[in-house]
Structure 1
Amino acid sequence: MKTLTLAASALVLSFAAAGAAQADEGMWTFDNFPSAKVKKTYGVDIDQKWLDTVRASAVRLTTGCSASVVSKQGLVLTNNHCVADCTQALSSEGKDYVKDGFLTGAREEELKCAGMQAEVLLSITDVTDQVKAAGAGKTGQDFVKARDAAFATAELAACGQDKTLRCQTISFYRGGQYKVYKYRRYADVRLVFAPEYATAFFGGDPDNFNFPRFNLDSAFLRLYEDGKPANTPNHLTWRATAPVEGEPTFVAGNPGTTQRQLTVSQLETNRDLIIPIGQLQRSEMRGRLIQFGEQSEENKRIANQPLAGVENSYKVFFGQQFVLNDKKFMDAKRAAETDLKTKVAADPKLSAEIGDPWGEIDRAQAALADQFVPMRQLETAAGGGSDLYGYARTLVRGAQERAKPSAERLPEYGDTRLALAEKRLLDVRPVDAPLERMYLEHWLLKTREYLTADAPAVKLLLGKESPEGLSQRLVAGSKLADPAVRKALWDGGLAAVQASDDPMIQFVLKTEGAGREVRKAYEASVTAPTDAAAERIAKARFAVLGDSVYPDATFSLRLSYGKVAGWTHRGRTITPFTDFAGFYDRVTGAEPFEAAPRWIAAKDKLNPKTVYDYVTTNDIIGGNSGSPVIDAKGRVIGAAFDGNIHSLGGAFGYDGSINRTVVVSTAAITEALTKVYGRDALVKELAGK
């Protein structure tokens, strides 16, 4: 707890310039990378050819991770925890690929990852003028609808109906810019290699977000097209030697979300409302999953990945809460905001154009406070994570929305986004009924608790049933676990969905309107005024700081720069490397410090001095998991898989003295593939042979 508080205090320095990037700070877009600054700092030339090669090799996984193409035959490097849902889905009772690892010796053994799509960025098109023009003069729901329609129009213009492409309109600088990112879409992604859970996540939750680390958190996928391995001439070169201390490093990936450009009142809302409610529910779900897993070995198997996900999220927001509770941090944010306001006020023309967007956002927080819980329970977190509920809502809303012109639909059902929605709906994956009941029951209980039993929406959800009884009835009676049933309903459209006697479909048909209602109200009173005001704050930042600022993370492709370096905190210096010898010293024989049998057997074959994991100063956040760490020559030297405990404050700011990215080295991966797993063919492919 003290460590996190001190980390937050250290972040104060990063806001002294009202948002100007500090040394090694920044998740930069590929069309605004500070090559001159990198040259001055590290003496490395990052030219357009280098950028184009890296961009064409970087991969975004729709599971929320990053990756990179590392061979001409579609081989992709990512993290083991990024494929954990795949290994879990491929497993069954008596065949646990999560626990034992997934190894292939031939292409026909590579198995499809259900629901996973890989995307490679092809182009970036600025559509700021079109989007802003669409929303000009409009307020409330009219503003949201006009902007969403402009998004859909821009995406359709860029991608057309080509199902090998995906286009996405992304907001940068909180509405300062809008750009269409066009991706090459790979819908067939297959698992090639994944190590055992004990190897990939050695140290478990105690070591998570810490360093030293001893994790082989790596995995390989392969992109397929037309049933064959994809031809990928653009790929990163594999470097099997570890970097040295001080060596420049670059991370290309898709950081998920940062809030560095939020106003103070928005940060206070996160601190006082959004994070606490989420943490309370995560904490209870964690306890339920632990209790469930203790009941049998099979329960433990199916709860393993959900529990790991909940624990990881809990720790992330635990760290964020501490940062936002730090008085010095918040004072620095207030000072930075005041400084920007003062600069705007000093320019009469700019001041007249900007107005008081900060006041408008402050007022929107009151509406957010009133509507956040209904919005969360009835819309954004509806179903509590149940796959069956998610299938039913996709079928119901998909049928309703597809009957409208693309520009008039909910954005997630626009023409250029339907292919992914359909893939997630129809791909074959197991549904674990006990977990389904748990998720639904927990969601219904919390909704009743937070909204009260007398709320019309709760009466609509439950009727005369209990959360326990309703969740049991819906899961036991639903046939939506069968992909053939889902396909028939999807193809049959609204008439087929309305005629279905599936209890989950009928439940969603009856209740999803409550989610639409609160979403509409939220967008009108929170989203619209907040986004309209944020556009003007972005304009102020551009006027004051020019292009020296980078946008908040949006799960879009970014490039950060840094170097291999340890850190010193409270008089203790952490060196940047760990090795195989350190791993074996850390083994205790008991979870979570138990070595997998293969590693015990291979101990004498491995070079104890091989660099296992290392840390760099690169600026990353969640979503960067699996990102390639690249040297100055554009060669991959590792995969980022974590940050240290201080990096949890990275959602709100960057402190280069202690924020660190944790990386598994290509040197360790290469040696493990050869001496532990005997994957010689895979090593040859990585070497380009």
Structure 2
Amino acid sequence: MTRLLQLCFLFLSFSLFGQQGGMWVPSLLEGMNEDEMKSLGMKMSVEDIYSVNQSSLKDAIVHFNGGCTSEMISGQGLLLTNHHCGYSLIQSHSTLENDYLEHGFWAGSLAEELPNPGITATFIIRIEDVTDQILEGVTPSMDEAAKKQLIEANTATVVRDSPKESYQENRVRAFYEGNQYMLFVVETFKDIRLVGAPPSSIGKFGSDTDNWVWPRHTGDFALFRIYADKNNRPAEYSEDNVPYTPRHFLPISLDGVAEDDFTLVFGFPGTTDEYLPSIAIDQLVETLNPARIAIRDAALAIVDEYMRADPEIKIQYASKFARIANYWKKWRGETLGLTKSDAAGVKRAQEQALTAEINRTGKQEEYGDLLPLMEQYYTEIEPYALAREYFLETVLRNGELLRTAFQVYQLMQVYEYRGAQAFSDRRDNLLKSFQSQFKNYNSTLDREVFEALIELYSREVPDRFLPASMKNIDAAQWTKEVYNHSAFVDYESLAQILSGDGDAVAKKLNADPGFQITSDLADAYFDKVAPTYDQLQLKISGLERDYMRALLELSPSDSRLFPNANGTLRVTYGQVKGYSPADAVYYEPVTHLEGVMEKYVPGDYEFDVPEKLIELYEKKDYGPYAEDGKIAVNFIGTNHTTGGNSGSPALDAHGNLIGINFDRVWEGTMSDYYYDPALSRNIMVDIRYVLFIMDKYAGAQHLIEELTLVHPKQETSKKRKKKKKKRKRRAKK
């Protein structure tokens, strides 16, 4: 075999991107996807999954507040998602006297369900391909800025002119790096009420230690209800609203799962970058992730110490700590997985094969410069990308005073460029949000975080990107000056400094050390980092669009070239599977309540277990939810998931609910960039554990009565027995 043929063979092989990987648009499943799903055991049709003209599974799938997925499980608007998706809402209703995070919450009636202002639940009504309309007038000779401007104008026209009901909304999203565009018609409900949540000792069992880890034993679920107006349409909160009647809700299987069972996960995955070039993977592993991890290492150590010492701080910072720790651990696992699977090496082989295919087909003029230019621009952008990560992590994501001061910095930009009225409106909205933020703020804790992060920033950010005031600083002295004299340490002083007209506010802010430091950091970032970063990123985006087009054009027709996740409705399918993360180690695919008890540490905030759950375990009082005398808690599968799939329903071969997706295994978190079927596993709560907690632990039988419980495996077995009997009777005749 010649070298060229070897490379072409590699290209054809690697373009498959691993069996079962992929996040597919549900309206485009006919053909290869349907055949593969049926080969894995699916008993439904693709029309059962997505249909515009009749009720289908997609009508039960809900985008929960724009960040998680949820699903309808009753005809009375009952909505199921993850405990961690509702965590901040549960926290917002909690006090020291009535701590729903610690003790759980269960509404005994509709009247007891708790409103959550500002929370939304969005349904997809239909999906249409609008690529031709969006790319109308776009030519290869146009520069990237001109292309972007025309695409944005065309998108606005499509959104405005596409048919919809008055209570619906049109949204357009790019696919395949801008080679395809889809229109989504959606309905968004705004009256979402908390119905039930287990205590964190169940819903967050294992907490940060077990996060991204298998074996797992977490009952990660919470219940909400969607309310609508009397016409079953979206409406703001009102006492006159009634429970929403969905187009479809999911029956719930009581039969459990076994290895090799078909699994379909339906949801709204957030962001993936499966087609990044090898140099981008190297940059992620060697430069960007280590910087992110180091910053969060410093912040988390301080927050954890305070939370363990003070119950009030524990409540205040529970949601924030979970958010920061989540991606800190994910990035560590991601780096490990990308290294272990040699993702960069695999992608280099793909790039070599693509180059050979470009040469073989005479496409050098169109695609010949793609890979060299991507290498050039990624090399140029690296120091700017590093400085950008330090700015985002320090100012916007981990330092609370800095984040608040940056919001005020943006307010003053509004005053400068949009005038007094815009300034006044923005200030009023900010003050409302600040009032809520300061409810969960501790200045002593934040002071220590500030000092640690500022010291890191001054040491690790390339010198040319630092503000002059930050060079050769004493971080301890800076911190003392800020927290002793800044108005940003409590709400009352902040409200006072923001009072008056724009000029008066500007004068007061310029004398505030917290604002001065934040302003220096922001000015340096926007002057020295952002312009070049944005210019290079625009060029890279254009190259990645062309690279994607080359893959689409030159790959075989049956290649698994699925679009990257972008927060739109997707289907991923696979099977229940164990895996081997290391030599001589194999993990079974299902965990049980016995594992909860094995991990139990009395009084520990991560591994404590409620007394009632211990009693139920000791008595084996499991109701109809046990199998072989045991309660399954979690299971894993080969479904390709990411952030945003939290709360996604896991469905069986017939479309019944068997679990709730909530995590991935640590070794497989690199699947945002490279899906490896040997290591990539998603983690799901067994739906029978959810029912067991609702029924036997919480005593919420009134909620169980709303559900439709089925036994698909038993029904299939009965049908097989009937067929067998018929064959025997025929044989006798």
Structure 2 residue matching 1:640: 3-state secondary structure: strand
> What is the aligned partner in structure 2 of residue 414 from structure 1?
none
CA contact (8 A) 2:131 2:180 kept: yes
Amino acid at match of 2:649: P
Amino acid at match of 1:669: V
1:259 aligned onto 2:270 = no
Q: Larger deviation: 44-53 or 463-472?
A: 463-472
Q: Separation in 2 of the partners of 1:117 and 1:565?
A: 34
C-alpha offsets along residues 493-548 of structure 1, whole Å, 9 cap, x if unaligned? 98998799797889878875555545751454322111111111111111122463
1:562 aligned onto 2:571 = no
Q: Separation in 2 of the partners of 1:611 and 1:394?
A: 46
Q: Separation in 2 of the partners of 1:98 and 1:136?
A: 55
Q: Larger deviation: 516-525 or 658-667?
A: 516-525
C-alpha offsets along residues 384-443 of structure 1, whole Å, 9 cap, x if unaligned? 3466765676677589679999xxxxxxxxxxxx9xx99995995634243655665555
CA contact (8 A) 1:378 1:518 kept: no
> What is the aligned partner in structure 2 of residue 432 from structure 1?
441
How far did residue 675 of structure 1 move? Answer: 0.7
1:186 aligned onto 2:189 = yes
How far did residue 451 of structure 1 move? Answer: 4.1
CA contact (8 A) 2:60 2:249 kept: yes
Amino acid at match of 1:526: L
Q: Larger deviation: 215-224 or 306-315?
A: 306-315
CA contact (8 A) 2:44 2:654 kept: no
1:22 aligned onto 2:18 = yes
- RMSD of the alignment, in Å? 4.1
The 5-angstrom pairing of residues 8-407 of structure 1 reads 17-33=13-29, 34-42=33-41, 44-52=43-51, 53-62=56-65, 64-113=67-116, 116-132=119-135, 133=137, 137-139=141-143, 145=149, 147-158=151-162, 165=168, 167-224=170-227, 225-226=235-236, 227=238, 228-245=241-258, 246-326=260-340, 328-348=342-362, 350-378=363-391, 382-385=395-398, 397=410
CA contact (8 A) 1:175 1:531 kept: no
How far did residue 251 of structure 1 move? Answer: 0.1
How far did residue 114 of structure 1 move? Answer: 5.3
Percent sequence identity over aligned pairs: 22
How far did residue 98 of structure 1 move? Answer: 1.6
Amino acid at match of 2:385: F
Q: 1:666 to 1:456 in 2, by over 3 A?
A: closer
Amino acid at match of 2:283: T
> What is the aligned partner in structure 1 of residue 482 from structure 2?
470
> What is the aligned partner in structure 1 of residue 717 from structure 2?
none
CA contact (8 A) 1:70 1:686 kept: yes
1:674 aligned onto 2:673 = no
CA contact (8 A) 1:373 1:450 kept: no
> What is the aligned partner in structure 1 of residue 231 from structure 2?
none
CA contact (8 A) 1:500 1:506 kept: no
CA contact (8 A) 1:159 1:166 kept: no
Which one of 531, 541, 545 corresponds to residue 531 of structure 1?
541
1:448 aligned onto 2:458 = yes
Amino acid at match of 1:208: N
Q: Separation in 1 of the partners of 2:156 and 2:508?
A: 31
Larger radius of gyration: 2
Q: Separation in 1 of the partners of 2:155 and 2:520?
A: 30
Q: 1:25 to 1:423 in 2, by over 3 A?
A: farther
Structure 2 residue matching 1:28: 3-state secondary structure: coil
Q: 1:527 to 1:230 in 2, by over 3 A?
A: farther
How far did residue 278 of structure 1 move? Answer: 0.4
How far did residue 103 of structure 1 move? Answer: 1.9
Amino acid at match of 1:530: I
The 5-angstrom pairing of residues 451-600 of structure 1 reads 451=461, 457=467, 459=469, 466-470=478-482, 473-476=486-489, 478-479=491-492, 515-517=525-527, 521-522=531-532, 524-545=534-555, 546=557, 548=559, 549-568=561-580, 570-589=583-602, 591=604, 592-600=606-614
Structure 1 residue matching 2:573: 3-state secondary structure: strand
Q: Separation in 1 of the partners of 2:516 and 2:694?
A: 50
Amino acid at match of 2:58: R
1:609 aligned onto 2:630 = yes
How far did residue 222 of structure 1 move? Answer: 1.9
CA contact (8 A) 2:81 2:648 kept: yes
Q: 1:288 to 1:422 in 2, by over 3 A?
A: closer
C-alpha offsets along residues 593-632 of structure 1, whole Å, 9 cap, x if unaligned? 3211231243322255232222222221232111100122
CA contact (8 A) 1:140 1:523 kept: no
CA contact (8 A) 2:661 2:682 kept: yes
Q: 1:37 to 1:382 in 2, by over 3 A?
A: same
C-alpha offsets along residues 328-360 of structure 1, whole Å, 9 cap, x if unaligned? 443222111211221122112x33222422222
How far did residue 247 of structure 1 move? Answer: 2.2
Structure 2 residue matching 1:17: 3-state secondary structure: helix
Q: 1:402 to 1:236 in 2, by over 3 A?
A: farther
How far did residue 147 of structure 1 move? Answer: 4.8
Q: Separation in 2 of the partners of 1:208 and 1:587?
A: 16
CA contact (8 A) 2:251 2:657 kept: yes
Q: 1:469 to 1:683 in 2, by over 3 A?
A: farther
CA contact (8 A) 1:139 1:528 kept: no
CA contact (8 A) 1:139 1:529 kept: no
Q: Larger deviation: 54-63 or 281-290?
A: 54-63
1:644 aligned onto 2:665 = yes
Amino acid at match of 1:383: L
Amino acid at match of 2:75: K
Q: Separation in 2 of the partners of 1:613 and 1:255?
A: 20
Structure 1 residue matching 2:27: 3-state secondary structure: coil
How far did residue 656 of structure 1 move? Answer: 2.8
How far did residue 102 of structure 1 move? Answer: 2.1
Number of residues paired by the alignment? Answer: 656
Structure 1 residue matching 2:219: 3-state secondary structure: coil
Structure 1 residue matching 2:178: 3-state secondary structure: coil
How far did residue 83 of structure 1 move? Answer: 1.3
How far did residue 156 of structure 1 move? Answer: 4.4
CA contact (8 A) 1:66 1:624 kept: yes
Q: Separation in 2 of the partners of 1:302 and 1:77?
A: 25
Q: 1:623 to 1:402 in 2, by over 3 A?
A: farther
Q: 1:385 to 1:280 in 2, by over 3 A?
A: closer
Q: Separation in 1 of the partners of 2:192 and 2:77?
A: 10
Amino acid at match of 2:216: R
CA contact (8 A) 1:384 1:440 kept: no
> What is the aligned partner in structure 2 of residue 412 from structure 1?
none
Stretches of structure 2 lacking an aligned partner (at least 5 in a row): 1-8, 228-234, 419-425, 711-733
Stretches of structure 1 lacking an aligned partner (at least 5 in a row): 1-12, 406-417
Q: Separation in 1 of the partners of 2:247 and 2:406?
A: 39
